[in-house]
Amino acid sequence: MSDKKKFNLEYEIKSSPRILYSFISEANGLNQWFADKVVYRDQTFTFTWDDEEQKAKLLAAKENKFVRFRWLDDEPQYYFEMEIVQDELTNDVALNITDFATEDTIAERKLIWDNQIDYLFGVIGA
């Protein structure tokens, strides 16, 4: 059994929660930054990178707030979540990522998220 640790990342994004939510919750939005190809069917997202497919089930979602996915080939206690947080005073918007990785792959996973979020900035124009 792989022993994964939870980690969190936070990215400030110049976007409204409503616009950001469409990019993290809809196949069309995710397709623009998260994977080469995204297909949604029967509560399952199929993400394709370099002709390799990975399937994830949408576990939970709250409009303009968060989405939580679980990779189908992973153990049930692990998930990845993208949460939109808006500061009540400044109205600044941040995207919080929660993910799991083994000790020796956390740095690599963080780098992958950094790269993906860079793509997202480009798409949103943040």
- Residue-wise pLDDT for 101-111, tens only, equals 999 999 999 99
CATH number, domain of 12, equals: 3.30.530.20
**Mean pLDDT, rounded, for 101-124:** 95
Range of the domain at 82: 4-124
Q: Evaluate if residue 1 carries a pLDDT over 70.
A: no
Burial class (CB in 10 A: 0-12, 13-18, 19+), 67: buried
Dihedral of alpha carbons 78, 12, 21, 113, sign: negative
The pTM of this model reads 0.93
Number of structural domains in the chain? 1
